[in-house]
Structure 1
Amino acid sequence: MHTLTQLRTGQLSGITRLKLSCGLTDFPQEIFDLADSLEILDLSGNQLDTLPDDLHRLTRLRILFCSDNRFTELPECLGRCSALTMIGFKANRIERVAGTALPPLLRWLILTDNRISRLPDELGHRPHLQKLMLAGNRLRQLPGSLAQCQRLELLRIAANQLDELPSWLLRMPSLSWLAYAGNPLEAQAEAAALHGATPVDWSQLSLQALLGEGASGVIHQALWQPPGQVARNVAVKLYKGQMTSDGSPLHEMHACITAGHHPNLIGVLGQIDGHPEQQAGLVMTLVGPDYYNLAGLPSLTSCTRDVYDDELRLHAGVALRIARGIASAAAHLHRQGITHGDLYGHNILCNDQGDCLLGDFGAASFHATTDNVQTRALQRIEVRAFGILLGELLARIEPALSAEELATLQDLQARCCQPEVLERPGFDEIEGLLRERDEGANSLARGNRG
């Protein structure tokens, strides 16, 4: 975090990244003194409602964040910023988005939690668009021109007013991560799928160490003491109830409950009842300390791709066990009428033996459990996300697989990622193929560890 004093006294000369959050009501003109170097500008958490018309003077500016301000429209000056690729205006009051506000190289657009009811056709004329986050608005339809965005991989349209998913959306060749919960189109499927979890009285829980915090909630280790039973260690997730980039945290909770039990999902033990502030929450199985996140979140540079530790290497048996476990979990979810929506390495917990758990249902959505074209398309969109994950695992296997084994798995990966959505295999088929490879590779792994 920087200060206005630093900016105004020239202490920040030559910096590439500037972050100011100090109650600004006007754009500091001194920022233009950084035009020769500034690439990332973060003005989130202020009280701004306009940007200067000559913002394009920041010729190196690639990334702009203006979340949690007071904008009522997306500033049209953005469209004249020739190097700008990423724009974030989450949690403003935006009602209007003009086509002229969209820069030509736009790759990543965040307009979560605003008041937008219509998007311009020009959005579909941005060929580099890869990530589009629109949850928590008032959209009744998407511009048909979006069908032209052949590189679009991640789309968040949860908590809007959409009555249907357009047919062209289900045919988009690169789409891999889709979240649409909380729209009228999903309500019937969600109501049919949702069932309650065992109520757990808040008085039976004793919160202990903080395990983690995300956009949707906070997770604590806790002691659960049911009446007449031995106390047990559990994890408790308390939901914030605020709109996230994926959608509503309460939809996440519903999806966790409806998912049911599977060895590759974190088990839900109950739903919190009687919280003194009426906060929603779940009691879940406590994951062992030997589990770690397979990957890190995508970066500003990687956009839709996870960031892996450069030194991560996996034995074939471990990698294939992870792949098979996630495919099995995804197949289970699809049978329950749920798409995960965020099938990524950073949402996978695993240990050195390849035991793995798929977590974070923040982008999960419900669909019909009957087999029809739309259901198959929604499921095959998620298959592409798995194909990307499989490729990331294959790239980190060491020692290398035999040429024949590698070719077989690369063929599966290519089939998962092919542009014809309905030609991709389903997760039942994927799991079966991986089971055959996994059993052989795990035999080698056990021999190697011995």
Structure 2
Amino acid sequence: MHTLAQLRAGQLAGLKRLDLSCGLSEFPEEIFELADSLEILNLGGNALSELPHDLHRLKRLRVLFCSDNQFTRLPECLGQCPTLTMISFKANRVETVPAAALPPLLRWLILTDNCISELPSELGERPHLQKLMLAGNRLHSLPPSLSQCHQLELIRIAANHLSELPHWLVTLPSLAWLAYAGNPLETEADASALDAVASIPWSEVQLGQLLGEGASGMIHQARWAAPTTPARQVAVKLYKGHMTSDGSPLHEMNACISAGRHPNLIRIEGRIADHPQAQNALVMQLIDPHFRNLAALPSLASCSRDVYADNCTFSAPVALRIARGIASVAAHLHEHGITHGDLYGHNILWDEQGECLLGDFGAASFHATADTLETRALQRIEVRAFGILLGELLERIDDGLSAEGRQRLEDLQQRCCQPDVLARPGFAEIEHLLGCQ
């Protein structure tokens, strides 16, 4: 993190990325002295409510973070920034999004956790739009013009007031990651599944080291000592209460429980019933430390694509085992009326033998289990996400795959990613085809 003193002293000349969080209530004019170099500007965590009308003087600015400030209106000056592609105004008080605030090269827009009830139709006139994050607002509808955004791959519209999904949304040719939980349109979780999970008293659990922290909560290693069974090591996820980019953490918890058991899911042991601060928590299987993430999160440059280590390679048997495992668990989820919504390599844990676990249900949503056109479309949107994953695995297979075998997998990958949503195969067929490899 940089300081205002450094900026004013001219110590940041030539900087490409500026991170400034120091209680600012006004935009520091000294930032314009970086106009010839500045590409990424992070002003998150301040008290700003306006930006200068001549922000376009930052002629190289590509990325702007203004999360956790006090904006009530998306500033029109953004639309005049010629190179701006990524904008984040998460967790402000934004009510109004003027058409003039949308830059021509907009690729990634984050307006999570605001007070927006309407979006301008001009949003659909941004042909480069790839990621759109709108969870935690007051939207009753989406602009039909978004049907023109054929490069749109990820949409987060959870926790709004949508009573239906527009038909055009589930036909978007590139859409692969969709989260819509917590809207009136969503089919509720099966209450019997939630009631069936064991209730674990807080007194039986002793928290240990912190294993990780994400947007929705913290995961601790813990010791669980039930009265009738030997004490054992588990993981406990303590859920946060506030909105994430995907949606509500409580929806994530309900989806984890409703998903039931599968060899490629992290096993849920029970739900904490009486946390002293009334915090929601799940007791889960403790994952062996030899499991690791398949990929890293997308970067600012890759936008909607995971980042793999340069030396990441797989043998054909390992890659196929991962693919089969994920296809199998996705089929299981769809049978239970759940779309994962974030089927990505960075949400998959794997080991050297190809054993894998699909985690992070933060973007999961419920749908009807009946075979309707909408249900089929929602499931086939997730098939495209799998197709992208399969392509990433194929790119990194270093041995053990015949030319014929590679051709069959490439054909399957192309079928999964074809623009006609309903023409894609379902996961039952995908699992069968992978089993024939």
Bin of the TM-score, shorter chain as denominator length: over 0.9
Q: What's 1:218 paired with?
A: 218
Name the CA distance, whole Å, in 1 between partners of 2:191 and 2:140.
23
Give 1:194 deviation, angstroms: 5.0
Q: Secondary structure at the match of 1:398?
A: strand
Q: Is the 8 A contact 2:190 2:258 kept in 1?
A: no
Q: Which amino acid aligns with 1:189?
A: E
User: 1:193, CA displacement in angstroms?
Assistant: 7.3
- The equivalences for 1:281-430 within 5 A come to 281-399=281-399, 401-430=401-430
C-alpha separation in 1, matches of 2:203 and 2:168: 50
Counterparts in 2 of 1:149-188, with a 5 A limit?
149-186=149-186, 188=187
CA distance in 2, matches of 1:193, 1:177: 28
Q: Which residue of 1 aligns with 2:83?
A: 83
Between the aligned partners of 1:118 and 1:276, the Cα distance in structure 2 is 39
Check whether the contact 1:193–1:337 (CA below 8 A) recurs between aligned residues: no
Q: Which consecutive residues of structure 1, in runs of 5 or more, have no partner in the other structure?
A: 438-450
Superposed CA offset, 1:378-407 (max 9, x none)? 000000000000000000001162111100
8 Å contact from structure 1 (residues 117, 138) kept in 2 = yes
Output the TM-score relative to the length of structure 1.
0.96
Specify the alignment match of 1:205 in structure 2: 205
Partner of 2:262: 262
Report SS of the residue matched to 1:195.
helix
- Counterpart CA distance in 2 for 1:348 and 1:191 is 25
2:108 is aligned with 1:108: yes
Deviation at 1:228, TM superposition (A): 2.6
Which amino acid letter does the alignment assign opposite residue 189 of structure 2? E
Greater displacement, 395-404 / 89-98: 395-404
Alpha-carbon RMSD: 0.8
Q: Secondary structure of 1:287's match? A: coil
Q: Once the 2 structures are TM-superposed, how far is the Cα of residue 423 of structure 1 from its aligned partner?
A: 0.2
Who is 2:121 aligned against?
Answer: 121
Amino acid at match of 2:117: S
Paired residue type of 1:376: R
Q: Does 1:227 align with 2:233?
A: no
Please say which of residues 339-348 and 395-404 is displaced more in the overlay: 395-404
**Alpha-carbon shift at residue 191 of structure 1 (Å):** 5.1
What are the superposed Cα offsets for residues 349-376 of structure 1, whole Å, 9 maximum, x if unpaired? 0000000000000000000000000000
Deviations 1:83-116 (A, max 9, x none): 0000000000000001110000000000000000
Going from structure 1 to structure 2, the CA distance change for 1:114 and 1:224 (only over 3 Å counts) comes to same
Q: Are 1:193 and 1:336, in contact at CA under 8 Å, matched by a contact in 2?
A: no
TM-score (norm 2): 0.99
Secondary structure, aligned partner of 2:218:
strand
2:188 corresponds to: 189
Q: Aligned to 1:50, what secondary structure does the other structure show?
A: coil
- Residue 429 of structure 1 aligns to a residue in which SS? helix
1:189 match: secondary structure = coil
The answer to whether structure 1 residue 274 and structure 2 residue 289 are counterparts is: no
Amino acid of the residue matched to residue 315 of structure 1?
A: S
Aligned partner of 2:94 in structure 1 is 94
Q: Secondary structure at the match of 1:371?
A: coil
AA paired with 1:8? R
Task: Please report how far the alpha carbon of residue 195 of structure 1 lies from its aligned counterpart in structure 2 after TM superposition.
Answer: 2.4
Give the conservation status (yes or no) of the 8 Å contact 2:127–2:151: yes
1:229 deviates by: 1.6
Runs of 4 or more consecutive aligned structure 1 residues displaced over 6 Å after TM superposition: none
Tell me the matched-pair count: 436
Q: Deviations over 1:278-330 (max 9, x none)?
A: 00010001110110000000000000000001101101000000000000000
CA contact (8 A) 1:327 1:431 kept: yes
User: Any unmatched runs of 5+ in structure 2?
Assistant: none
Deviation at 1:189, TM superposition (A): 3.5
Q: Is the 8 A contact 1:221 1:235 kept in 2?
A: yes
Structure 1 CA distance, aligned partners of 2:400 and 2:356? 22
Distance 2:294 2:270 in 1: 27
For residues 243 and 216 of structure 1, the distance between their equivalents in structure 2, rounded to whole angstroms, comes to 8
Describe how 1:127-146 pairs up with structure 2 within 5 A: 127-146=127-146
Secondary structure at 1:185 match in 2: coil
Structure 2 letter corresponding to 1:435: G
Separation (CA, whole Å) in 1 of partners of 2:436 and 2:219: 37
Look up the equivalent residue of 1:175 and give its one-letter code: L
How far the C-alpha of 1:435 sits from its partner, in A, is 1.2
CA contact (8 A) 2:293 2:347 kept: yes
Output the CA distance in 1 between the equivalents of 2:189 and 2:161.
15
